[in-house]
Structure 1
Amino acid sequence: MKKIDKLVLLDFLPPYLMAFFVVEFVLVMQFLWKYIDEFVGKGFSFGVLLEMLFYFSVRTIPEAVPVTILIASVMVFGNLAEKYEISSMKSAGISLTRIMMMGVLIAIFTACFSLLASNYLKPRANYKFFYRFNAIRKQKPALNLAEGVFSKDFRNFVIRVGDKEANERDIKDVIIYDHSGRDRKKINMLVAKTGQMYAREDNNNFVMELNDGEQYREMTVSNKEDPKKKENVPFIRTKFEKWTKIFDMSEFEMAAQNLNIARKEYDLLNSFQLIDAIDSINMKRDENRFKMNQNFRKILTIPEFTAEPDNTKDLPADVKSAIDKKEKLIKETANVKKNKVMIKKQEIDKDLSEYNSLLETFPKDHQKYLIGAAKSMSSKQHEVLTNKVGQDRGYRASRSRYVLRLHQQYSWALICIVFLFIGAPLGSIVKKGGYGYPLLIAIVFFMLFIILNILGERLNRGMTISPILAAWLPNLIIIPIAVLFTFRAVNDQGIADISGFFIKIGRMLRIIKPA
């Protein structure tokens, strides 16, 4: 390795690693800040939260590495330019592109790492993350029966505990409202002086044992004269020495039932699986279109089928003999007088040319029947075709999402290399290292990339542009900017002169514009 490459490599690695972890930390904190309200009070351990955040950080690797390259390249080449090391190398006859060679290799390595992460790390991390994230979001808040507070944690029950002992087991002054009956407006209340509450060893059930209490129930009876009419009767009061109720704790557990993880299946697949999924969608779409064409043919045309005669050349001798006998019998009976189907004669009172339509040649009662049958058939076929068109639109939208995700894996990898040709020239032009200008420049261009990426996804979702164009839209816009910055840096032209370039472009457009 030459000294110039070693110099760039040693200068590149520390800011590269630091920028990667900083960007990952920012992305994780952004996610945590957005959903912190849904995590608080759920009762899960800190280890579960760390596990979920770890999987989230893995799934954001393809998003983090482009800005990592951008920040590191601006810092490194800005620092080299600030210390006049790039100027010294240029005076020795070394071009800027040669100085950037090691950075280009690091960018290519980063692009390969991004592609590997998108294909092997991100799908698995997405599954684990969605599993944890959706389970936590759907989990009910942790059971917490505070003193003097009416709790609705259990379904169809409202519980109030007046006082709890230090052991969190013995309780006093307990009130329970039971709304599990058919008529929730009827009062069903329990009052107890003392009791105990605890969870069983398997943590699947919560037990409340109440002592020395009363139950009040509001009852209704049917009216003898009118059974549908209900009559109120006095409260039924029942005293008890001991009352036990077992509550199901499964609704407080973090489980993955009905989490609909497969709703974004395209985020759980690698490139090869995405290609297979796209082929499967194409086959289903072609099959649906074939059925739709068949329905059109049934409506618009009457198909005529002509049966081709079977070839009896290779048949066994006994089969040929049987066929010959059948043919002989058919020929013998061909001259038999055929039966005729008699059709009732239709009388019309005027010439056919005087009728406005064929329908008028039928009797009035038949006309209504024919119109009703035609409307029914038309409505049925319209419903069938509308359903087929909706299915075709759904297949198209699903295919667009899969194609977009497939091409995004490669566009996010390529942008790592493109960002190097933005960061390195800008660093050599502004001649500022450290965390000031480099960070500002990186944020501006990364925001541009994210905005273009979101714009492409939205346009693809609305079927405005193709998924391939939507995936590569950020690269198509940012690559010319990278070429422009690299060209000006190689030719030692300042960034302030870029405005003149756009002025020239505007003049050219005015000349080309027709009068």
Structure 2
Amino acid sequence: MKKIHLLLLKSFIRPFVSTLFIVMFVLLMLFLFKYIDDLIGKGFAWYTILELMLYNSATNVAMALPLSVLLSTIMTYGSLGENYELVAIKAAGISLRRAMYPMIVVVTLLSMAAFFFSDYMLPVANLKYFSLLYDARKQKSADLLPQMVFSNSFTGYTIRVKSKDPDGQRLYGIMIYQKSADNNNTTVTIAREGTMFRTMGDKFLVLKLKDGVRYEESAPDNATYNYRQRLSRFRFKETEQKFSLDGLKLTRTNESEFKTASQMMNLKQLRFYVDSVQHQVDGSIVQNYRLITPYMKFFNMPAKPAVKYIPADKAGVLKSMKLADQVVALSSASSEIRSIKDILKNRTDRYNDDTLNIRRYASEVQKKFTLSAACLALFLIGAPLGAIIRKGGLGLPVVISVVFFLIYYIISTIGEKSARAGSISVVFGMWVAIIVLTPIGLFLSYKAATDSAIFDVELYKRFFNKLIKRKSN
């Protein structure tokens, strides 16, 4: 029995590790394709991009782990069925359910590890990833001097380049406007060509200008009344001009500004936030009643009226008044209605925002548990599917696993969005995919235990051939 357990574990660990790395690599490539324009051409150090990719890989575990469990289990049991090893196990008197015990233990431990990862490590990875991505996206482009554009990348300067060589180092038709202390363009430098390079440590950008002229306006010496300014012109064969790159370096935002987001909190913090906001919402409802109460008017009626009381509608009440009293009553009523609407409008918007935050943070609470449950539910689907189709490798198992994972992902996404919008309960919306897939997994497990030919193509061919012959006869 121990040898069979060891065989199953060895058959599962290898495809699980390989599929996990493949899925993580595919998701990482999707991340690079999405943010390639925000990362390339901004002068980032290689370790900054590597750090961002590492944090993104950690955030992709929530999607990669269930898919890897599904794909690896289909490959494991499909390979065992293809090599008739499952037949040998059943011939030895061991049922499929009993042969799945070591796999169930491994996937259960993996699900527990996924829960602790989503509760302790994932919030930290999300904090590092989103804060670094935010700083990287707002970083200015490293294409400091684009062609035919007046660039303001350097403080106090406006630079225009007519054309550049393909390597981007040699420039032609250079025009530099330098602003004075009073923010006027008093100095202009024009050069026929030049080259640019960065100093060590990327502290300065140096322009070596050739064949140019510099125009500068300044006040005359010892002038008590600056009626006319002095224009100076300097011609040069070669000169250099430095521009500081301090304003173009990656500046990091304080990570504490991102800690209030739901993705950056663990289970304890999420529950505390939901409870505190719910208490605040309940208190605001009581406060709303206290604010509206002074605008309500109550009329006392005798317990036993001498005259039979006939309820009068609004028009009848107004007709019983004088014209001046009608105007006063209507203006007073409309004023009170406007006051109540003004009071409740802002409080209603705040109430809607608070309830939306409660649903969003409550959904994150449930998401901590749905990751572990998804691994178990997809394992219940993958193991019997592999035993039924009896195909290993990366062919048919990949197609089937992608189909079932898309079903899981679409249902969970719809449920999550509906829960956050308030259309359905948060608990039901976050668990609806598990509720749908678990009966499917149990049904497939029953079919695999009874040696069902549900995925036998030849069986369906024979059925349709018989059906066609009956119709033809």
1:86 aligns with 2:86: yes
Is the aligned partner of 1:285 residue 2:281?
yes
Distance 1:200 1:29, change over 3 A: closer
Q: What is the distance in 2 between the residues matched to 1:90 and 1:31?
A: 45
Partner of 2:452 in structure 1? Answer: 493
Distance 1:283 1:483 in 2: 41
**Cα gap change, 1:11 to 1:209, in 2 (>3 Å):** closer
Shift of 1:177: 4.4
Aligned to 2:225: none
Shift of 1:98: 0.8
Instruction: Say yes or no: does 1:432 pair with 2:391.
Output: yes
Map 1:96-115; keep pairs closer than 5 Å: 96-115=96-115
The equivalent position to 2:423 in structure 1, one of 464, 470, 482, is: 464
Letter in 2 for 1:298: P
Residue matched to 2:124: 124
Q: Does 1:140 align with 2:140?
A: yes
Counterpart in 2 of 1:451?
410
Pick closer, same or farther for the CA change 1:32–1:180 going to 2, 3 Å: farther
Q: Does 1:252 align with 2:248?
A: yes
- State the shift of 1:11 in Å: 1.2
What is the deviation of 1:401? Answer: 0.5
2:160: which partner in 1? Answer: 160
Aligned AA (2:433): P
Among 278, 296, 306, the alignment partner of 2:292 is 296
Mind listing any 5+ residue stretches in structure 1 that lack a counterpart? 218-234, 304-354, 501-515
Indicate if the aligned counterparts of 1:173 and 1:191 stay in contact, CA closer than 8 A.
no
Q: How far did residue 416 of structure 1 move?
A: 0.6
* Whole-angstrom CA distance in 2 between matches of 1:89 and 1:200: 70
Aligned partner of 1:239 among 232, 245, 261: 232
Change (3 A) 1:236 1:380: farther
CA distance 1:459–1:260, shift in 2 (3 Å): farther
Quick check: 143-152 or 389-398, which moved more?
143-152
Decide whether aligned partners of structure 1 residues 71 and 496 sit closer, same or farther in structure 2, where only a CA change above 3 A counts.
closer
CA contact (8 A) 2:217 2:232 kept: no
CA distance in 1, matches of 2:87, 2:111: 29
TM-score of the two chains, using structure 2 as the length reference: 0.78
The aligned counterpart of 1:48 is: 48
Distance 1:11 1:163, change over 3 A: closer
- Name the structure 2 match of 1:441: 400
Q: Distance in 1 between matches of 2:24 and 2:151?
A: 40
Matched residue SS, 1:495: coil
Alignment correspondent of 1:408: 367
Residues 175 and 189, structure 1, Cα contact 8 Å, conserved in 2: no
CA RMSD of aligned residues (A): 4.1
Q: What's the CA shift for 1:60?
A: 1.6
How many angstroms does 1:145 deviate by? 3.2
Q: Which residue of 1 aligns with 2:58?
A: 58
State the AA in 2 paired with 1:479. Answer: T
Q: Structure 2 unaligned runs (5+)?
A: 219-227, 300-314, 461-473
The 2-side partners of 1:113 and 1:49 are apart by 28
Cα 1:415–1:93 change in 2 (3 A) is same
Q: Quote the offset at 1:147 in angstroms.
A: 8.0
Q: Distance in 2 between matches of 1:397 and 1:257?
A: 27
Contact 2:277–2:354 (8 Å) recurs in 1: yes
CA distance in 2 between partners of 1:260 and 1:481 (Å) = 44
- Partner residue, 1:67: 67
Q: Which residue of 2 aligns with 1:483?
A: 442
Residues 172 and 37 (structure 1), Cα distance of their counterparts in 2 relative to 1, 3 Å cut: closer
Greater shift in the superposed pair: 405-414 or 154-163: 154-163
2:187/2:217 contact within 8 Å kept: yes
Once residues 103 and 40 of structure 1 are traced to their aligned partners in structure 2, the CA distance between those partners, rounded to angstroms, is: 44
* Cα deviation digits, residues 268-298 of structure 1 (max 9, x gap): 0111111111111111111111111222323
> Percent of pairs identical after alignment?
28
* 1:306-337, Cα deviation, whole Å (9 max, x unpaired): xxxxxxxxxxxxxxxxxxxxxxxxxxxxxxxx
Aligned partners of 1:110 and 1:141: how far apart in 2?
43
CA distance, structure 1, for counterparts of residue 246 and residue 328 of structure 2: 60
* Contact persistence 1:172–1:192 (CA under 8 A): no
Equivalences for 1:309-320 in 2 at 5 Å? none
Instruction: Judge which range, 58-67 or 208-217, deviates more.
Output: 208-217
Q: 1:175, 1:16 → 2: CA distance?
A: 60
TM-score computed with the length of structure 1 as normaliser? 0.72
Structure 2: how far apart are the matches of 1:475 and 1:153? 52
* Residue-by-residue CA offset, 1:146-172 (whole Å, 9 max, x unaligned): 68875443478531357999xx99999
Contact 1:200/1:207, CA 8 A, preserved across alignment: yes
Please tell me whether the aligned partners of residues 295 and 385 of structure 1 are also in contact (alpha carbons under 8 angstroms). no
SS where residue 261 of structure 2 aligns? helix
Equivalent pairs counted in the alignment come to 428
The residue number in structure 2 matching 1:191 is: 189
**Distance in 1 separating the partners of 2:180 and 2:318:** 67
